[in-house]
Structure 1
């Protein structure tokens, strides 16, 4: 009976997270810390029979992504928990959590004169044999959160959207694109490539103050998450290819500094080389006056369809001398085939540059998130388009 109950709870999840063996009565707390999309499929099971623990809670969230910070938080709240990452309806990885030795960048010290706040916050976890008697001690000033207060503070930050996950960043970007007309999908559009697409992406539509503020948060949060998880190397500059990439690069630098205390410079290229003034300083790359050979560059841009226009801009970086590109971040990847030997645009760009491309919002994710709003005919149009041009397959 127990196996049947658990099977009913998890059998339909295609991609997401199942957190099992949660201490009884803590499932809803962990669910609230994830703060998932209200429209996402989620299950919280309370007091499920367990052979090992007698009783347990279980949380299943479709489409969610877990960061190292969330793993540490779960370990602090329920050290008995296990995290199952689900992809294609199968368990891809299974991880047993444990209480962290330190909690970094999660809660702010309440001492007004202490700088242990935001990404720089650092608390030592002082465990007790009874978890509820544990405490968190600020590594800088010694201020102590007792366990109950620490959990309340973490929950408050989660409900305020401060704790970042990939899913949350994707939801925010998609909502913004739809609200501002940057994503249109109830008609067909002829693209520059000549393909007739069931949707159209125009990040340039995000041109008011509200949009720019949110775009700043999206790029900064996504990059900060990749840095924190060690997915990308640290870097010295953010490069934005002309023209739309210029705004994104400047917004990214501003957001990294404002939200995460990470200070970077940005560069952008000129499509027409400057022929007056100090051309040696910024003839083709603007902002290069402080560049030192060997420094590392992160590239940001709006979308990627074929990848060819990115190559032209990025090759202009050669004028800087020796440098290293640590990655390319794009807002949207259409996940389409290029005309380069059957490669996707991302594969073409990665092979040509020898760097990894990261997409905040892939086309397949867009489709999954809006599929319920599409008519049957519209879903068929998406599926046909990606059967013909895509590197991913969509389901009706």
Structure 2
């Protein structure tokens, strides 16, 4: 259901040039009529606003029942940072966060993780932008498991694209749940975006392409 809060987030992404329409290719190689690039958030106001949306979603689904937050490099880094700040400012939930380097550091303190050092038994939540084929999750889990014997039950993203994963009858998010036991929570879904464009009434050509893409790649 397209709520006012979801409409607000969609318009925020569009105004920030993060949600774009046209002809794009996803990381999984699919040709898509829409693209979400959180790397286009570039001002203090934008990242503070984004943090509030993530914080509200985390509060709603986890409360303060977790120990730390992980942002996978690179786009997850500012997302986790913004979410951590907003959780404290909005709800007085003060949790540590950490992220990884793409290249392991061999001097100074060394290692591939920056920020909080996870401990055995920690409940970690992952902060990401979108999930398409699940590649990033499969790269992230070994990083976390190699750092400590942590528990990962929840992941928070901007957009659920609702796309099929390796099994054509299941979405990537369903596979992530089956393979890793992780619940993925999204601020909005592709259905919300489609419904928003439909209500707006001025996206005829894009709506047609969105419908074709959803019929081909999405499972609801």
Among 5, 10, 27, the residue aligned to 1:192: 27
Partner of 1:150: none
Write the distance in 1 (CA, Å) between the matches of 2:10 and 2:57: 14
In structure 1, which of residues 184, 204, 228 is the aligned counterpart of residue 39 of structure 2? 204
Do structure 1's residue 266 and structure 2's residue 102 form an aligned pair? no
Q: Once structures 1 and 2 are overlaid, which stretch shifts more, 260-269 or 194-203?
A: 194-203
Alignment of 1:35-114 (within 5 A): 63-64=2-3
Aligned-partner Cα distance in 2 for 1:287–1:369 = 38
Preserved CA contact (<8 Å) 1:288 1:320: no
Note the C-alpha offset of 1:354. 1.1
- The runs of at least 4 aligned residues of structure 1 exceeding 4 Å deviation read none
**Is the CA contact (8 Å cut-off) linking 1:303 and 1:330 kept in structure 2?**
yes
Residue matched to 1:319: 146
TM-score, structure 1 as length reference: 0.52
- After TM superposition, give the deviation of residue 265 of structure 1 in Å: 0.2
Change (3 A) 1:370 1:376: closer
Consecutive unaligned residues in structure 2, runs of 5 or more: none
2:17 counterpart of 1:181: yes
Q: Which segment is superposed worse, 368-377 or 202-211?
A: 368-377
What's the C-alpha RMSD, in Å, of the aligned pairs? 1.8
SS in 1 for 2:102: coil
Q: Distance in 2 between matches of 1:195 and 1:223?
A: 30
Comparing 300-309 and 377-386, the one that deviates more: 377-386
Cα separation, 2, equivalents of 1:370 and 1:193 = 25
Distance 1:385 1:286, change over 3 A: same
Within 5 Å, give how 1:11-50 maps onto structure 2. 15=1
Looking at secondary structure, tell me which structure has more helix per residue: 2
Counterpart of 2:158 in structure 1 is 331
Distance 2:147 2:27 in 1: 31
1:1-396 aligned at under 5 Å gives the runs: 15=1, 63-64=2-3, 167-168=4-5, 170-185=6-21, 187-228=22-63, 234-279=65-110, 283-289=111-117, 291-340=118-167, 342-371=169-198, 372-392=200-220
- Larger relative contact order (Cα-Cα within 8 Å, sequence gap ≥ 6): 2
1:58 alignment counterpart: none
Tell me, in whole angstroms, the C-alpha distance in 1 between the residues paired with 2:37 and 2:60.
25
The gaps in structure 1 that reach 5 residues or longer are 1-14, 16-62, 65-166
Secondary structure of the residue that 1:361 maps to in structure 2? strand
Distance 1:369 1:377 in 2: 14
